[in-house]
Amino acid sequence: MGYYDDEQPILSDKTLEIPCSSIKLADFIILQGRPCQVIKISTSTTTGIPIYRGVDAVTGQFYEASPSQSSPSTMLGPKFKLYKLLDIHDGCITAMTETGNVKQGLNPMKASGVFQRCQTALEKDCPQVMLHVLNDGGSELVVDVKELD
C-alpha cells in the first residue's frame, strides 16, 4: 500500500513539503519517488493516515503512497518552473525560461489538454501565457497553462 521512512523521497532543491490537509485531486505530489497527479485520496481505516493514488505525469503509471511515519502530516511535491509560451510547432512547445533562454521541443503532459490550451491561447493572441513546467530527471514536461491579462 504505502511506503515509509526508508523509502521516503528526500527533500531537495526540486521538491517542497506540502501539508496533507491542503492536497486535493489533480494536485501534483511525489509518490514512490515519481511526480504524480493525484487521482484519488482515501484514509486508512486503521491508522487514519491519508492514502494518495496518482498517475505518473511522465509515464502514465499508477502509484500509491502515504506520508512517512516520521512526517505523517506532509507529503513532498515537485517544484515547478514558469516559462512564457512563445510558439507551438509539430506537437512541441517553444517557451522562454525565467532567465530569458529559449527552450524548444517541450512536450505537453499527455491527456491533460495542455497542448490544446496552448493552441487556443496563441490563436486568441493572449498577451502572456505562462506554462508550469515539471522537471523530471532532466526532461521537462508542460503540465499546466495560465493565461495572464
The domain 5-78 is classified under which CATH number: 2.60.120.260, 3.40.50.880, 3.40.630.30, 2.30.30.30?
Answer: 2.30.30.30
Q: Which three cell numbers stand for residue 67?
A: 506520508
In this predicted structure, the answer to whether residue 89 has a pLDDT above a threshold of 60 is yes
Domain positions in the chain are: 5-78, 80-148
CA-wise closest residue to 32 among 1, 78, 63, 55: 63
Q: What value does the mean pLDDT take over residues 109-129?
A: 88
Whether residue 78 has pLDDT greater than 90 = yes
Domain 80-148 sits in CATH at 2.40.50.140
pTM to 2 decimals?
0.84
Beta bridge partners of 87: 94
Find the angle CA(146)-CA(147)-CA(149) to the nearest 5 degrees.
140
Residue-wise pLDDT tens digits, 31-64: 999 999 999 999 999 988 999 999 999 999 999 9
pLDDT at 111: 75
